[in-house]
């Protein structure tokens, strides 16, 4: 093959190679944009799961009130069954109590790794306890209620609930099944991380570094232990209580996703160019 022809073919292949490299760069940018869009969509799924988990956790609390009541009441037939179920005569579940209505407002707050409910009105549980009114004097045993020497009858409308449960219950489903994010955190409105324990106590400056997306998701860059993350944040309102959910992906993960393209053709063309110029 004449040398001129080799050069012509080589230059043609170089042009093709350049076009493919530009295409590779554009594809990488497209891959990253798609990855970021998927992150926003997955965060909304996490939000929905947390809202469902919150409802499930409250249902568990209702059942725990029943279990604690039966465990402490030797007079009711369920006592023996619950004792066997819990394999104990002592209550080791969530802290549960009844309080008389007072001037304090109802509140839900994040304290350390617990979601704490004070003066919470939950009619299902309060009305259920009323079904056992003949045992009202014994409500002092499981729930710390003072019935003034047994003369005061229990009335559901006069009482409220105090209880708490670990905030881990809100994200346990996504920790198991959602493998998209590298980190999943729960923050209060001030940006203080409450979960997971390894990041608990760190305060993030979320308000000054956020970029708001069209669907309401907020995005920020953050660094933890010398690793850089792209973080996606959304607010969740649980019965008037606000909590922030932060889901993060490392920059390494984003870069790996961006460059998931077929490099075999480029390598082949490069070898052909080298062969034509130096073969």
Nearest-CA neighbor of 115 among 57, 179, 31?
57
Query: Facing residues of 237 across strands?
Result: 242
Residue 225: what pLDDT?
Answer: 85
What is the C-alpha separation between 161 and 68, in angstroms, rounded?
14
Q: Give the 3-state secondary structure of residue 150.
A: coil
Please provide the size of the chain in residues: 279
Choice among 120-124, 151-155, 253-257 with the minimum mean pLDDT: 151-155
Under the banding of pLDDT at 50, 70 and 90, the label for residue 138 is: low
Kindly give the interhelix angle for 123-130 and 3-72, rounded to the nearest 10 degrees: 30
Query: Facing residues of 185 across strands?
Result: 246
Helix (H) or strand (E) holding 124: helix 123-130
pLDDT tens, 261-274?
Answer: 555 655 655 665 66
Residues whose CB falls within 8 Å of the CB of residue 86, separated by 6 or more in sequence, listed in order: 67, 71, 92
Nearest-CA neighbor of 134 among 115, 117, 153, 116?
153
Which of 57-66, 126-135, 177-186, 262-271 has the highest mean predicted lDDT (pLDDT)? Answer: 57-66
pTM, two decimals, is 0.79
How is residue 126 written in tokens?
């309060």
Kindly give the pairing relationship between strand 183-187 and strand 159-166.
Answer: unpaired
CA angle, residues 88, 94, 97, in degrees to nearest 5: 105
User: What are the backbone dihedrals phi and psi of residue 37, each rounded to the nearest 5 degrees, phi first?
Assistant: -65, -40
What is the C-alpha separation between 132 and 76, in angstroms, rounded?
9
What is the C-alpha separation between 50 and 46, in angstroms, rounded?
6
Choice among 78-87, 227-236, 257-266 with the minimum mean pLDDT: 257-266
What is the C-alpha separation between 97 and 141, in angstroms, rounded?
10
């Amino acid at each position: 093959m004449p040398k001129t022809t080799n050069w012509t073919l080589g230059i043609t292949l170089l042009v093709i190679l350049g076009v493919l490299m530009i295409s590779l760069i554009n594809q990488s940018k497209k891959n990253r944009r798609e990855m970021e869009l998927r992150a926003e969509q997955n965060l909304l799924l996490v939000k929905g799961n947390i809202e469902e988990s919150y409802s499930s956790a409250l249902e568990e609390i209702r059942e725990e009130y029943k279990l604690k009541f039966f465990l402490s009441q030797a007079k009711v037939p369920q006592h023996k069954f619950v004792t066997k179920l819990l394999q104990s005569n002592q209550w080791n579940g969530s802290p549960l109590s009844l309080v008389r209505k007072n001037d304090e407002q109802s509140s839900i707050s994040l304290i350390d790794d617990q979601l704490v409910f004070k003066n919470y009105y939950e009619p299902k549980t309060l009305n259920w306890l009323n079904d056992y009114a003949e045992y009202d004097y014994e409500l002092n045993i499981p729930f710390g209620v003072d019935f003034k020497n047994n003369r005061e009858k229990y009335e559901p409308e006069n009482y409220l609930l105090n209880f708490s449960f670990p905030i881990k219950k809100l994200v346990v489903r996504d920790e198991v099944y959602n493998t998209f994010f590298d980190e999943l955190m729960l923050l209060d409105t001030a940006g203080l991380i409450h979960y997971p324990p390894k990041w608990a106590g760190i305060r993030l400056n979320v308000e000054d570094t956020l970029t708001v997306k069209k669907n309401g998701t907020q995005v920020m860059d953050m660094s933890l232990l010398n690793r850089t993350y792209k973080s996606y944040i959304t607010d969740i309102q649980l019965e008037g209580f606000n909590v922030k959910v932060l889901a993060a992906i490392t920059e390494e993960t984003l870069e790996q996703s961006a460059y998931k393209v077929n490099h075999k053709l480029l390598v082949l063309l490069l070898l052909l160019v080298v062969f034509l110029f130096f073969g």
